[in-house]
Amino acid sequence: MTSKPLRITNPLRITNLLRTTNPLRVAKPRRLIGAIAAAITAAATVLIAITINATPAVAAGTGTGYLRTNGNRIVDATGATVRLTGINWFGMETDNRTFHGLWANPPATWRGQIDRMAELGFNTLRIPYSGDALRPGATATSINTWTNPDLVGLSPLEILDRVIEYAGSKGMRVILDRHRPTAAGQTALWYTPTVSEASMIADWRMLAQRYAGNTTVIGADLFNEPHAEGTDPNGTGACWGCGDPARDWRLAAERIGNAILEVNPNWLIFVEGVSCLSGGNPNAWDGVPDPWQNCDWWGGNLSQAIEQPVRLNVPNRLVYAPHDYAISVYDRQPWFNDPNFPNNLPAVWDHFWGKIAKQNVAPILLGEFGSTLANPLDVQWLTTLMNYLTENGMSFTYWSWNPNSGDTGGIALDDWYSINQQKYAILQPHLVPPTGQPTSQPTTSSPTGTPTSTPTSTPTSTPTSTPTSTPTSTPTATPTIPSGGCTATYAIVNQYPGGFQAEVTVRAGSTAISQWMVSWTFANGQTITQLWNGDLSSNGASITVRNAPYNGSLGPSASTTFGFLGTWSSTNEVPTLTCRAT
């Protein structure tokens, strides 16, 4: 394992406080009389009925097929509204060139972490990457070869393939994010002297072609956090609407987005804002007041996107994706000092990006937002922000899953599996859980579920050899699920001399259940040394596992999984399981 790098973002941004908003006003029709009034009343009755009947359907989970936009909504192939409520899992943009946390111990295998995200209700993964991870010969590092033996020797792109496939099996969607030109760090512009715009487009087109036909991957977040550099009037950073092809992010987003859509017209194009519209930071020493409208967080300022929109050649593909952060990231944003805080915040968000959705121009996905919650005011910020997003039907991807984000921390704690309950309690009411079920199981898998505590013991050493064999398939026979009952399927997902890892999937029948119990008898002297996501009791070879407090309640056909580590000697046969439910 290498040291865990900190994510350092969002240095000083100077802005001024927004205090006003412009609510929509709808003119009232005149009252008419006599026969004309009666006719209009009858027509209005019909129109009201039509309006009620035409209320957009809301998709379960993340919907079906490719996603599109319709006004301020994201919709699926049936036209039903989809709300993306996701999370960022970073690492592929760093020197590791793959997801962070692959160094963790069970149950936080790579699949176990995805299972955890899905069970918590996150339905979308935003995956940052840099161009370095895509290069021929790129090597993924800091992978725990005992926890994730199936990733050993794979390239960063091959690991990405597996994550996408497994996330899709959970009903999750994936957004790819060009986070940096290289692993060296964030830049104000989308290109550098050594990484051209043409190179960036080539990377995007390669990814768009690689995942063409894969409805799990829904689109491209073109570039992370374009921002100002230098001081006005001599700024050299990313501007919006300044007309300079080398600095105008709006024009660059059009070029890059249209190039992607040429090879994959099914993708959504996610476009972030800038920080300051001019591309330069305000001059604090010139004695000239700076307009409050000009600057926001890096990537957050879309205040001119209605007047100067991104123009794509394929309609219904554009989603604006700003960022917003809290006091723990930078405490000098002027709106944090407003005496009306946090009630002033919706007006701030309206100005910089919320009006885009409120005026039905395009959907909003808040691509990054997060906090350590170390400052009590950040609790108010996050609570207000989540209510604002939900009330306005906006999508989001929280920053981040990773606990090693230097300025925000993560949802996951340092074991990459336990959860920061304070943050999750604020987010949970606003999540739309994925509803997909795995259609096929890979040859290896990992624990799922939501433990209330970290396992009390973890193997203290890694086996000296990579597993010499892995079962090529899990048992194919699944018993018929009785009404109101449950079934349990046992799979050996990793095996090495003297030890193995297994998982048991418990699935409800045609009616919901409130608790379950799985029992079996080992025939070959196997023992369990550690179990998660269940309550274990054993008597010699007889094993009984009951649900944990958090995973006993399952809807019709829903499933949960518990896993364990065990020992074996000469034979490791799959036992016959009995599942009982109430």
Question: Per the domain annotation, does 31 fall within a domain?
Answer: no
Which range marks the domain in which residue 273 is found? 68-430
pLDDT at 340 over 60: yes
Would you give the DSSP letter of residue 133?
A: G
State how far the Cα of 303 lies from the Cα of 349, in Å rounded to an integer: 10
Report yes or no: 102 and 441 within 8 Å, Cβ to Cβ: no
- The residue annotated as part of the active site, out of 197, 225, 254, 272, is 225
* Residues 352 and 467 placed together within one structural domain of the fold: no
How much is the pLDDT for 11? 34
**Closest by CA position to 179, among listed 149, 213, 134, 145:** 134
Q: Which H helix or E strand runs over 567? A: strand 559-567
Report yes or no: 295 and 301 within 8 Å, Cβ to Cβ: yes
Predicted structure pTM score: 0.70
Question: Per the domain annotation, does 54 fall within a domain?
Answer: no
Angle at 82 between CA 81 and CA 87, to 5 degrees: 160
Phi then psi for 423, rounded to 5 degrees? Answer: -70, -45
* Residues 140 and 284 placed together within one structural domain of the fold: yes
Question: Per the domain annotation, does 57 fall within a domain?
Answer: no
Question: Strand, coil or helix: what is 160?
Answer: helix
Active site residue 262: no
Mean pLDDT lowest among 44-48, 134-138, 145-149, 540-544: 44-48
pLDDT at 65 over 70: yes
How much is the pLDDT for 54? 56
Q: For the chain, how many structural domains are there in total?
A: 2
Question: Per the domain annotation, does 26 fall within a domain?
Answer: no
For the record, the structure tokens of 77 come out as 């192939």
**Closest by CA position to 435, among listed 163, 205, 122:** 122
Q: Average pLDDT in the 282-291 region?
A: 75
How much is the pLDDT for 56? 79
Angle at 283 between CA 281 and CA 285, to 5 degrees: 155
How much is the pLDDT for 224? 98
Q: Average pLDDT in the 109-127 region?
A: 97
* Residues 418 and 445 placed together within one structural domain of the fold: no
pLDDT at 445 over 80: no
Beta bridge partners of 217: 174
Q: Average pLDDT in the 401-421 region?
A: 95
Question: Per the domain annotation, does 272 fall within a domain?
Answer: yes
**Closest by CA position to 44, among listed 58, 57, 31, 26:** 31
What CATH number corresponds to the domain at position 175? 3.20.20.80
State how far the Cα of 49 lies from the Cα of 29, in Å rounded to an integer: 19
State how far the Cα of 409 lies from the Cα of 399, in Å rounded to an integer: 8
pLDDT digits (tens, 9 = 90+) for 204-225: 999 999 999 999 999 999 999 9
Of the residues 430, 460, 486, which one is the last residue of a structural domain? Answer: 430
Question: Per the domain annotation, does 561 fall within a domain?
Answer: yes
* Residues 347 and 386 placed together within one structural domain of the fold: yes
How much is the pLDDT for 23? 29
Of the residues 430, 456, 488, which one is the last residue of a structural domain? Answer: 430
Range list of β-strands (E), 404-532: 486-496, 499-508, 516-521, 527-532
Q: How confident is the model at residue 484 (pLDDT cuts 50, 70, 90)?
A: low
State how far the Cα of 506 lies from the Cα of 198, in Å rounded to an integer: 50
Q: Average pLDDT in the 158-178 region?
A: 97
How much is the pLDDT for 447? 32
pLDDT at 458 over 70: no
Question: Per the domain annotation, does 490 fall within a domain?
Answer: yes
* Residues 446 and 422 placed together within one structural domain of the fold: no
pLDDT at 69 over 60: yes
Q: How confident is the model at residue 60 (pLDDT cuts 50, 70, 90)?
A: confident
pLDDT at 298 over 50: yes
pLDDT digits (tens, 9 = 90+) for 535-549: 999 999 999 999 987
Unique residue bearing structure tokens 């099996």: 169
Mean pLDDT lowest among 38-47, 133-142, 152-161, 521-530: 38-47
* Residues 392 and 481 placed together within one structural domain of the fold: no
* Residues 426 and 446 placed together within one structural domain of the fold: no
* Residues 278 and 389 placed together within one structural domain of the fold: yes
* Residues 581 and 512 placed together within one structural domain of the fold: yes
Sequence letter at residue 266: N
pLDDT at 47 over 50: no
Q: Average pLDDT in the 303-313 region?
A: 98
Of the residues 377, 406, 430, which one is the last residue of a structural domain? Answer: 430
* Residues 368 and 447 placed together within one structural domain of the fold: no
Mean pLDDT lowest among 55-59, 360-364, 429-433, 511-515: 55-59
* Residues 538 and 412 placed together within one structural domain of the fold: no
Question: Per the domain annotation, does 37 fall within a domain?
Answer: no
Percent of the chain exceeding pLDDT 70 equals 81
CA dihedral of 93, 95, 98, 100, whole degrees rounded to 10: -90
Length of the chain: 582
How much is the pLDDT for 554? 83
Beta bridge partners of 579: 518
What CATH number corresponds to the domain at position 484? 2.60.40.290
pLDDT at 12 over 60: no
- Contacts of 489 by beta carbon, 8 Å cutoff, 6+ apart: 474, 475, 478, 504, 505, 507, 577
Q: How confident is the model at residue 156 (pLDDT cuts 50, 70, 90)?
A: very high
State how far the Cα of 108 lies from the Cα of 448, in Å rounded to an integer: 9
How much is the pLDDT for 548? 83
454 vs 569 pLDDT, higher one: 569
Mean pLDDT lowest among 122-136, 233-247, 276-290, 506-520: 276-290
pLDDT digits (tens, 9 = 90+) for 404-413: 998 899 999 9
Active site residue 158: no
* Residues 272 and 380 placed together within one structural domain of the fold: yes
